[in-house]
Amino acid sequence: MSLLIIDDEVTNQIRNLRNLAELPENYYAPSRESDGTEPCPGDDPRYVIQLASCRVVYSITIWGKDLWRHISISTKANYPMPIVAFTIADLFGFTGWNETDKPPKGWGFLAKPEPERCIIICQKLERAE
């Protein structure tokens, strides 16, 4: 197990990834992936950072008419600790977490089994039309 140290370097990596992913022209649309015009964010190194032992993939995803903040957090061995996953999600702008070991109301949460062994968190965003 490695510690998640939140220093200036980590803060800058998160800020840079958020600045990229949160531009409307960079929103991820799974429909474009299925027709071969866009890779999924986890296959695009621009949307991936390494924080301690966690591989973090962040995107803003268009699903139907809705917009979602979406993050997956994985480690090479076992699952990330939920408290670490929630801390990382909080750093990426997810709202409502009160620093417990439970996801807050309004967060979609999935612990995905082998082979990914990752935690996926999503939160619906208000969409300015």
- The residue segments making up the domain with residue 24 are 8-125
For residue range 69-103, what is the model confidence (pLDDT) as tens digits?
999 999 887 878 888 899 999 999 999 999 988 89
For residue range 43-74, what is the model confidence (pLDDT) as tens digits?
999 999 999 889 999 999 998 889 999 999 99
* pLDDT reported for residue 30: 84
Q: Is 1 a domain residue?
A: no
* pLDDT reported for residue 32: 64
User: What is the three-class DSSP state of 74?
Assistant: strand
The rounded distance, in Å, linking the Cα atoms of 46 and 66 is 23
Which residue has better confidence, 129 or 35?
35
Q: Is 3 a domain residue?
A: no
> What pTM did the predictor assign?
0.90
Q: Is 2 a domain residue?
A: no
Q: Max alpha carbon distance in the chain (Å)?
A: 44
Q: Is 109 a domain residue?
A: yes
Q: Is 118 a domain residue?
A: yes
Q: How many domains does the chain have?
A: 1
* pLDDT reported for residue 3: 76
pLDDT of residue 118 exceeding 70, the answer is yes
The answer to whether residues 54 and 84 touch, using CB atoms and an 8 Å cutoff, is yes
